[in-house]
Each structure stands twice: as C-alpha cells, then as structure tokens.
Structure 1
Amino acid sequence: MLQIAGIALITTFLALAIKEHKPNFAFLLVLFAGTGIFLFLVDQVQKIISMIESLASSANVNSMYIKTILKIIGIAYIAEFSAQISKDAGLGSMASKVELAGKILILALAVPILTALVETIITMIPSN
C-alpha cells in the first residue's frame, strides 16, 4: 500500500505542478499512473478470485452464480475507474453515463440470480 500511496502522491504533486503550463500532459500523467496502479493490483484481484472460487467449490455453490457475481464486481470496479478518469478530465457528464451503463449492466447480470432466488423462496412457501 505504501508503494501505491507513494506513486499517487508523487503523481498528484507532479500533475499539480505541470497543470498550469501543460494541462493535457498533467491529465495523461494521472491517467498513466492510475492505469499503472490498476495493473499493479491485477495480481491481487486474481488471488481473491481464486479464493472465492475455491470457497464456492467447497460449499457446492453453482459456479454460474459465482461467475456472475464476479462479473458484477468487475463491472462495478471498471465503471468506477472509468468514471473517475472522466471526472479527472473534467467530463462529469461522461462519467455519469459510464456510471449509468455500469448500473444497467449490473442489473442485467443480476436478473437470473434474482429469478433463481425468487423461485427458491416460492418453493419454500407451503401451498394450501
């Protein structure tokens, strides 16, 4: 975490210093540093995904549900990252559209899980 914080602070100070003279370069610097931090964390994310899949396998949970939940989490993180980049560029309206697209995609992926949940609840309710 100290490495990430160090990169972020150095990038922030450099971007602030450069921003007055070369705002486009400052934005690119922030974009590359943010992408670098994101790529630095990919290994950690892979470890987390492996642990979740292992736990799901041990609990005999349908892998389709786990894959769907992992996709939902991925969409949320990617949408947030993209929206923050858009906000950094001063494009708040684009950031809002990215966030909306992420929410719609998450909802579309969640429908089968919600359907299975409702069906399970219905089967548990005793019929007269």
Structure 2
Amino acid sequence: MEKVVMIGIMSVLLAIPLKKDKPEFSMLIILTACMLISSLAVWRIRDLLRYLKTLQEYLGSGSIYIKVLFKMIAVTYMAELGANLCRDAGYGAVAGQIEFFGKLMLLAVSLPVLSALFEVLLQFVPGGVG
C-alpha cells in the first residue's frame, strides 16, 4: 500500500507544476502513475482470483455465483478506471457514459443470480404465482 500511496503523491507533486505551462506532460505523468498503480493492482488481483478459484472448487454447483462475482469485479474496476482517466483528462461526459454503461453491465451480469433468487422465493409461495 505504501508504494501505491507514494507513486500517487509523487506523480501529483510532479504534475502540479507542469499543469499550467505543459499540461500534456502533466497528463503523461498522471497516466504513467495510473498505469503503474494498475499494474500493482493486477498482481494483488491475481492472489484474490486464486483464492476465489479455490472457493469455487469447494462450492461445486454454486460456482455460477463465483463466476458472476468475477465478472462483476472486472466490470466495476474497468469502468472505474476508464471513467477516472477520462474525468482527469477533462472529459466528464465520457466518464459519465462509461459509468452508466458499467452500471448496466452489472445489472446484466447479475441477472442469473436474480433469476435464481426468484426461483427460490417462488418455492415458498403457496399455489405458485398466477
């Protein structure tokens, strides 16, 4: 965590003086810092994925839920990263659209879980629905 904080602070301290006179260099410093931090995050995510794969093996038939969780994590992080980069570059409208699409994707990915939940709930309704 210390590395990530230091990369973030140092990149901002380097980018601030350049922002007025050379905004393109400032943006390159920030983008480089984002890529470094993202690469560090990927290494941590690999450990998490290994753990979730082990959990998936234990669950067996419930593994669809782990797959949905994987997809939701991926969508969330990709949308947040893309939106933040666009927002930092001054393109807030594009960032908003990325966030909107990310939310739609989360809903779409979660539909199998919602469907399974409704199936379970319908088992407890006497006489079924209709």
**If the length of structure 1 is used for normalisation, what is the TM-score?**
0.91
Structure 2 Cα separation of the partners of residues 68 and 60 of structure 1: 14
Structure 2 Cα separation of the partners of residues 61 and 90 of structure 1: 46
CA shift digits 1:19-61 (9 cap, x unpaired)? 1111011112101110111111111101111112212322335
Query: Identity, % of aligned pairs?
Result: 31
Structure 1 gaps of 5+ residues are none
Q: Are positions 1:101 and 2:101 aligned together? A: yes
CA shift digits 1:42-97 (9 cap, x unpaired)? 11101111112212322335322211211111101110111111111111111100
Which letter maps to 2:112? P
The equivalent residue for 1:89 is: 89
**If the length of structure 2 is used for normalisation, what is the TM-score?**
0.90
Structure 2 gaps of 5+ residues are none
Q: List, as ranges, runs of 4+ consecutive aligned residues in structure 1 with deviation greater than 3 Å.
A: 124-128
- What is the CA-CA distance between 1:3 and the residue it aligns to? 1.0
Structure 2 Cα separation of the partners of residues 48 and 8 of structure 1: 23
Greater displacement, 63-72 / 16-25? 63-72
The equivalent residue for 2:112 is: 112
Secondary structure class of the residue paired with 1:46: helix
The equivalent residue for 1:20 is: 20
Give matches, 1:20-99, under 5 Å. 20-99=20-99
Secondary structure class of the residue paired with 1:76: helix
Which letter maps to 1:87? R
Which letter maps to 2:45? V
Alpha-carbon RMSD across the aligned residues, in angstroms, is 1.5
